[in-house]
Amino acid sequence: MANKIENPVIIIGAGISGLLLAQYLTLAKIPFRIFERRENLGTTNEGWGLTLTWSLPTLRDLLPASLWHRLPEAYVDRAAVERGEASTFPFFDLSTGELKGKTPPAPASRRIRVNREKFRNLLATGIAIEWGKTLSSYESAKDGVTVFFKDGSECSGSLLVGCDGTHSEVRSQLLPDANENYIPIRLMGTKLHMSPIEIEPLRNLDSFFLQATSSKNDTFVYFSVLDAPGNGSSRSYVAQIVVSWPYRKGFLNRDSPLAMPSSNAARLDLLKTFAETWAEPFRSLAFNLPDTAELKPLDLTDWPPAKDVHGNGRAMLVGDALHPMAMYRGDGANHSIQDIQEIAQTIAPLLSGTISESTLRAAIDNYEDEVIARCRPAVLASRQAAFDAHDYRRINPQSPLLSPRVMMIKFDEHDEV
């Protein structure tokens, strides 16, 4: 039986996708509530940068004009953008320093690096996030859905949208067989503060982002600017260095794979062992890290949703909750933004009128078909990019590691490693 949608859309997760959905629903005058397991924005500690590319026009359409015009607040280096500088995302041989590839420069309207934390804070503007709410379970019925939290509270609404990231609790209940794939790569990274003099050799190569693989031992590194003095928030540059290596026999001529060291001191020692084979300026970047630098390990996982996968009832997934992917193409945020556009076109028009559960579910199924057709190849291409980044012989312009970033990537699953 059809019913009037009066209850709110329930959003689980106040990350990029959840907050962007909240901003769109605000524009569309569709009621919602958004819940986040963390206690506040200050506890997220998201020391990463994002590259927004083909999703920028969509982002503009989804945001109120007042927020879109404030996007430069999230740029990693506003002054550099104002000077007309643009990243070419150069790729180097880490052992020789030789430039192996780069992309043509593009204006900020087509490609921009943003600080993830600042971008998230911008998207949180005006949104009443309900903090400290960890999902326990949910129950979907014909006339609505009820979410239960671990603190004993609950919320009932018209639709549950899981925007809760790679290790989604919503996905674990909605698609219990959707087990994440662990990628055999070990990765660690740290943030560091650098003076203009210290960062100059790196910024001479690119003002925003560098990446490199060693032709000698297949170690990989990328260097990313996260904040700059021109932003007014810091007198120094804030940057990130991420190092990864293949978890396989034969790496560094070892009989067994090299595991992640358990202590921070051992991780720093390992990084400097790697760097002994690196060319400048990458070598000095590693050796100049202070003993107090915290190298955080990160497990790499993904999940390419099957072409025929569908949820059930009044629950759905968005962004990393539906298609977590490795970071080696840097495309996850772009796909999350496009997911919200799919919701705006496919599902949102139904939420302001009278609709039956079957009609709503059909719209969600259609959304899932569209997103999976776009994102399954993207997840697999990102996985291949991760493997290629740690096998120097495979790196060429056709590799997903270096190929153009586009919304609908073509990827032959038979070529998957």
Cβ atoms of 340 and 21 closer than 8 Å: yes
Q: Quick check: pTM over 0.85?
A: yes
What value does the mean pLDDT take over residues 353-379? 92
State how far Cα 298 lies from the chain centre: 13
Q: CA 286, CA 202: separation in Å to the nearest integer? A: 12
Cβ atoms of 167 and 37 closer than 8 Å: no
What value does the mean pLDDT take over residues 53-64? 97
Residue 129 has a pLDDT of: 97
Domain with CATH 3.30.9.60 in the chain: 183-298
Q: Would the pLDDT of 4 be above 50?
A: no
The CATH code that applies to domain 183-298 is: 3.30.9.60
What value does the mean pLDDT take over residues 203-222? 96
The fold of the 3-37+132-181+301-415 domain, in CATH, is FAD/NAD(P)-binding domain (3.50.50)
Q: What would the pLDDT profile of 265-291 be if each residue is shown by its tens digit?
A: 999 999 999 999 999 999 999 999 999
Residue 3 has a pLDDT of: 39
Q: CA 242, CA 282: separation in Å to the nearest integer? A: 11
Residue 415 has a pLDDT of: 56
Residue 5 has a pLDDT of: 42
Share of residues in the chain with pLDDT > 70 (%) = 96
What value does the mean pLDDT take over residues 148-167? 96
Residue of 342, 340, 335, 415 lying closest to 380 (CA atoms): 415
* Residue 123 or residue 235, greater confidence: 123
Residue 2 has a pLDDT of: 41
Q: What would the pLDDT profile of 226-241 be if each residue is shown by its tens digit?
A: 999 989 877 899 999 9
What value does the mean pLDDT take over residues 25-31? 96
| Paired tokens of 129 | 């996030």
Domain with CATH 3.50.50.60 in the chain: 3-37+132-181+301-415
